[in-house]
Amino acid sequence: MSFFAVQKGCKRVYAVDKASIIDDAIKTAVLNGFEKHLKFIKSDIFKLNLREKADVIIHEHIGNFIWDEDMLAKVGFARDRFLRPGGSLIPFKIDVYAVPVNYLSSIESSACFWRRKQYGIDFSNLALKTLARNAFWLNHPQQVNLKDSKTFLCAEKLISTMDLMHDNAIPKKIEASFALKKNDVLSGVCLFFEVHLTPSIRFSTRPGKKLTSWGRFLFPVLQGASSPEIPRFSLP
């Protein structure tokens, strides 16, 4: 990201990372002739000291599950400490959307496979239980590869907005309600997000949009399960 900043004409760029990847970044900068405008600092952001404030802070701490890289704490700290009044944050806002889906994951399909007799042999006693338990990690969210919105059971809803110019912490609780039709089969709630880089430039991880480095993730709903270990699946 610091290389892009130099390419776009930034005069002085502080490239901060606490990990050893920064040693490789220094070599790449030299290889590309970027080092004149770049100052690499290997530091935890919370321990960083700079003698000047920045016009722009570019950051990327969006976790695979949006909130799992503690973005707001790090960005909030950098913003309050290092951004000049009137300066810009890139990205400055992230909208999170949720939608109920009837997605059958490959593992779930696999569980369905073992539910049927294979070559006349019934494996359902052990295999289904084990697969089902692994498939749903006892109700933990998982990355899914939803290619489009065909599995959506209704329209998505905006459930949370992270205003990175002001927020310092994620909401403790998010509530949303959706109206499903009578025979809908719900396998989980899919979350995706839209990242606002500038007021006119944004990208979305919505199924059907161009792929990004983030997946979509699914909070499984164990519909009709009497025990969290043995969810019921609808056969495709």
- Contact call for residue 163 and ligand SAM (CB under 6 A): no
60: annotated active-site residue: yes
The active-site residue out of 60, 156, 175, 229 is 60
- Contact call for residue 81 and ligand SAM (CB under 6 A): no
Query: Which tokens go with 215?
Result: 């997946």
- Contact call for residue 21 and ligand SAM (CB under 6 A): yes
Helix or strand holding residue 127 (H, E): helix 127-136
69: annotated active-site residue: yes
Of 10-18, 97-105, 164-172, 227-235, the segment contacting ligand SAM by CB under 6 A is 10-18
Beta strand extents in the chain (DSSP E only) = 13-17, 38-42, 54-58, 83-90, 93-101, 142-144, 157-163, 188-198, 201-204, 216-220
Closer to ligand SAM at the Cβ: 41 or 159?
41
Q: Which residue is nearest to ligand SAM, using beta carbons?
A: 19
Site of tokens 């039709």 = 181
Q: Footprint of ligand SAM on residues 37-66 (CB under 6 A)?
A: 44-46, 60-61
CB hemisphere CA count around 46 (13 angstroms):
5
C-alpha torsion angle, residues 142, 102, 128, 220 (rounded to 10):
40
Catalytic positions are 60, 69
Residues making contact with ligand SAM (CB under 6 A): 1, 16-19, 21, 44-46, 60-61, 74
